[in-house]
Amino acid sequence: MPGGAVTLVGATRVDRVEAPVTIKAYFMCAFAAFGGIFFGYDSGYINGVMAMNYFIREFQGLPYPPAGATEDEKKYFVLPSWKKSLITSILSAGTFFGALIAGDLADFIGRRLTIIGGCGIFIVGVILQTASASLGLLVAGRLIAGFGVGFVSAIIILYMSEIAPKKVRGAIVSGYQFCITIGILLASCVDYGTQNRMDSGSYRIPIAIQMLWAIILAIGLFFLPDSPRYYVKRGKIDLAASVLARVRGQPVDSEFIQQELAEIVANHEYELQIIPQGSYFNSWKQCFTGGLSTPSSNLRRTILGASLQMMQQWTGINFIFYFGTTFFKDLGTISNPFLISLITTLVNVCSTPISFWAIERVGRRPLLIWGAVGMFVCEFIVAIIGVTDGGNKEAIKAMISFICIYIFFFATTWGPGAWVVIGEIFPLPIRSRGVGIATASNWLWNCIIAVITPYMVGTDRGNLGARVFFIWGSLCVLCWIYAYLLIPETKGLTLEQVDRMMEETTPRTSAKWVPTTTFAQEMGLTDKGTLDPAIVEDVERKGSVGV
Ligand code: BGC
């Protein structure tokens, strides 16, 4: 309500810029992590389904392989590569656009409603896929479901980063990564359970089950409040105060809540002064302004978010999760490649919780730097064993062990780290779009890698075999250099402090930075210690006209 400026006590001490949090409030913040299940399950289930005989029969219009068919005859029952590629990659196309559009919507209808809307779109897509018995409907369903996954995957990160308390923000967002890994695991278990069915339930069950994740997430979010930072952006300071009180579990008139809110408001006003907003197109343009040479410019932050997600895909992790089964099979000496895939998936799930602790204790920057080192060392070892002694059973066991150690490094560092950092580096005026662009980049590279990898390793194509790990290893060396040069340390800071830290330091000096002043102090406090009403009024006015 412009003109009715709320009075907010401004913090003058840097340790008073965030209210204390109750256990219930912690759980509220952690619930949204559940959205990771979508991401993991949806990208995971299709691999198993595409190998199911019934599915292939249905979608190729072929008779079922007769009982007693030889292995050679069964090979006939394989989907052609172009169909596999289309069915797999159409999801990423949907998620790519979904993430970009959701970044936009989240500023208009709110983070929470955008996620709930994403669940609705996803359910429509899943219904179409479940009903499908032809390629057209399946592809359309996956495109629409992908759209929904794009909404959810981008905005969950934004929502969680904005409501989580600073001390556990990294751990809570890592919870999202944990749910991704559980989603991948669940998908392979369900596929395993239905693969031998002789009816359409073989593929319809794994597809339809996904609706459950969407329903649980949407219902849960229905009861959760929106992000206070969203309300500040829309100029609704009263509402921001009441939702902040809910997510912190404090009374709305408590001084803690006022101080935290004053800080968010003052920071937003500060950003609005540097980044004047305008028309719709202008607000998109803002993501690309400020020049390349200024480390804290919007352009640099947008590039940082998008490239960090690109590098996460370059680590080669999805080579294991998308093509692991085929890779292990092609090595020739493994009797049960499915089991090995299950093991790699389990290593992923079991290692991720270590990041809850490490991301807050060790910090984002060291985790990404040392994680890349761990990964490239393992990848080079796998490649070297593969080219020198690849036919030997013992050597293959060693390769698998190093692949598991590699997954351990990914799951404890780059897996969660990339998501945590993109939620933290953008200032409020461009945050939702920045996170949307970064998430879209994850899906774009996810798709590119899914499309080109079969050509690199396919026995009828590049046939690189274990040598492909030289490529992933070299890309991880780039990840290491990238993290060293470009990733700032954001642990323990509020999002507003991160904003300031990025202005005042370089990535290499960022870990030593400590806040010395508050935004409320800097922007203006009255004699009574309250935030200058003119600031609150300005934020209310600008927010109400959508700038
Ligand atoms: C990545 C996914 C990957 C998953 C594996 C995520 O952080 O973005 O592409 O499949 O981790 O756990």
Mean pLDDT of 101-109: 91
At residue 454's C-alpha, the angle toward residues 453 and 457, to 5°, is: 85
HSE (side-chain half, CA atoms, 13 Å) at 519: 26
What is the CA(31)–ligand 1 centre distance, in A? 19
At 1 the pLDDT is: 41
At 490 the pLDDT is: 95
Each residue's pLDDT tens digit, 14-31? 777 777 778 877 888 788
Region label for 546, one of left (φ > 0), alpha (ψ between -120 and 50) or beta (otherwise): left
**Ligand 1 site-directed mutation target among 89, 176, 317, 413, most atoms within 8 Å of CB:** 317
Mean pLDDT of 90-113: 92
What is the CA(208)–ligand 1 centre distance, in A? 22
Q: Which residues of 5-21 are buried (b: 16+ CB within 10 A; e: fewer)?
A: bbebbbbeebebbbbeb
Tokens 């030889």, residue? Answer: 70
**Ligand 1 site-directed mutation target among 37, 38, 39, 368, most atoms within 8 Å of CB:** 39
Q: Do 51 and 194 meet the contact criterion of CB atoms below 8 Å apart?
A: no
- Cα-Cα-Cα-Cα dihedral sign, residues 472, 474, 480, 482: negative
Walk me through the domains of the chain, giving residue ranges and CATH numbers. 23-223+290-501 (1.20.1250.20)
Long-range contacts of 311-314 (CB under 8 A, 24+ apart): 311/414, 311/418, 311/475, 311/478, 311/479, 311/482, 311/483, 312/414, 312/415, 312/418, 312/442, 313/442, 313/445, 313/446, 313/448, 313/449, 314/445, 314/449, 314/472, 314/475, 314/476, 314/478, 314/479
- Cα-Cα-Cα-Cα dihedral sign, residues 350, 351, 352, 355: positive
What is the CA(442)–ligand 1 centre distance, in A? 9
Mean pLDDT of 301-308: 97
Q: Do 147 and 119 meet the contact criterion of CB atoms below 8 Å apart?
A: no
- List the beta bridge partners of residue 531: 525
- Cα-Cα-Cα-Cα dihedral sign, residues 273, 365, 173, 99: positive
- Give 109's DSSP letter: T
Atom of ligand 1 nearest to the CA of 415: 7
Confidence bin at 73 (pLDDT 50/70/90): low
| Average of per-residue pLDDT values in the chain | 87
What is the CA(348)–ligand 1 centre distance, in A? 10
Atom 12 (ligand 1): residue with closest C-alpha? Answer: 181
Q: Do 313 and 96 meet the contact criterion of CB atoms below 8 Å apart?
A: no
The pTM assigned to this predicted structure is 0.89
**Ligand 1 site-directed mutation target among 173, 312, 319, 414, most atoms within 8 Å of CB:** 312
What is the CA(42)–ligand 1 centre distance, in A? 12
**Ligand 1 site-directed mutation target among 321, 410, 443, most atoms within 8 Å of CB:** 321
Atom of ligand 1 nearest to the CA of 416: 7
Q: Do 170 and 491 meet the contact criterion of CB atoms below 8 Å apart?
A: yes
Q: Letter for the amino acid at 54?
A: Y
Atom 10 (ligand 1): residue with closest C-alpha? Answer: 318
Q: With helix as H, strand as E and coil as C, how does 316-338 read?
A: CHHHHHHHHHHHHHHHCCCCCHH
Residue 157 confidence (pLDDT) above 80: yes
Q: Which residues of 321-349 are buried (b: 16+ CB within 10 A; e: fewer)?
A: bbbbbbbbebbeebeebbebbbebbebbb
Mean pLDDT of 420-448: 93
What is the CA(44)–ligand 1 centre distance, in A? 10
Q: Which runs of consecutive H residues, i.e. helices, occur in 75-168?
A: 81-108, 111-131, 135-163
What is the CA(378)–ligand 1 centre distance, in A? 18
Question: For 246, phi and psi rounded to 5 degrees?
Answer: -70, -45
Atom 6 (ligand 1): residue with closest C-alpha? Answer: 415
Atom of ligand 1 nearest to the CA of 309: 8
Q: Which of 129, 142, 145, 95 is nearest to 207 (CA)?
A: 129
What is the CA(212)–ligand 1 centre distance, in A? 21
Atom of ligand 1 nearest to the CA of 321: 10
At 2 the pLDDT is: 44
CA dist., res. 244 & res. 238, Å (int): 10
Atom of ligand 1 nearest to the CA of 442: 8
| CA 295 and chain centroid, separation | 23
Mean pLDDT of 515-541: 80
**Ligand 1 site-directed mutation target among 43, 88, 176, 177, most atoms within 8 Å of CB:** 177
Residue 364 confidence (pLDDT) above 90: yes
Each residue's pLDDT tens digit, 457-480? 776 777 778 899 999 999 999 999
What is the CA(420)–ligand 1 centre distance, in A? 13
Atom of ligand 1 nearest to the CA of 181: 12
Atom 3 (ligand 1): residue with closest C-alpha? Answer: 318
Question: Which of 2-6, 350-354, 361-365 is predicted least confidently?
Answer: 2-6
Beta carbons within 10 angstroms of residue 237's beta carbon? 26
Each residue's pLDDT tens digit, 161-174? 989 888 888 999 99
CA dist., res. 124 & res. 105, Å (int): 19
Atom 5 (ligand 1): residue with closest C-alpha? Answer: 181
CA dist., res. 223 & res. 213, Å (int): 16
CA dist., res. 221 & res. 225, Å (int): 8
CA dist., res. 418 & res. 407, Å (int): 15
Q: Do 413 and 354 meet the contact criterion of CB atoms below 8 Å apart?
A: no
CA dist., res. 394 & res. 29, Å (int): 46
Q: Residues near 279 by Cβ (< 8 Å), separated by ≥ 6? A: none
At 120 the pLDDT is: 96
What is the CA(415)–ligand 1 centre distance, in A? 6
Atom of ligand 1 nearest to the CA of 352: 12
At 109 the pLDDT is: 93
Atom of ligand 1 nearest to the CA of 446: 9
Q: Is 226 helix (H, G, I), strand (E, B) or coil?
A: coil
At 240 the pLDDT is: 93
Question: For 82, phi and psi rounded to 5 degrees?
Answer: -65, -35
Residue 332 confidence (pLDDT) above 70: no
What is the CA(163)–ligand 1 centre distance, in A? 23
Q: With helix as H, strand as E and coil as C, how does 235-275 read?
A: CCHHHHHHHHHHHHCCCCCCHHHHHHHHHHHHHHHHHHHHC
What residues are in contact with ligand 1 under a 6 Å CB criterion? 43, 177, 180-181, 312, 317-318, 321, 348, 415, 442, 446
What is the CA(318)–ligand 1 centre distance, in A? 7
Atom 1 (ligand 1): residue with closest C-alpha? Answer: 415
Atom 2 (ligand 1): residue with closest C-alpha? Answer: 318
Q: What percent of the chain has pLDDT over 90?
A: 48
Each residue's pLDDT tens digit, 276-303? 766 778 878 889 988 888 888 999 999 9
Question: Which of 146-150, 240-244, 524-528 is predicted least confidently?
Answer: 524-528
Atom 11 (ligand 1): residue with closest C-alpha? Answer: 415
Atom 7 (ligand 1): residue with closest C-alpha? Answer: 415
Atom of ligand 1 nearest to the CA of 414: 7
Confidence bin at 75 (pLDDT 50/70/90): low
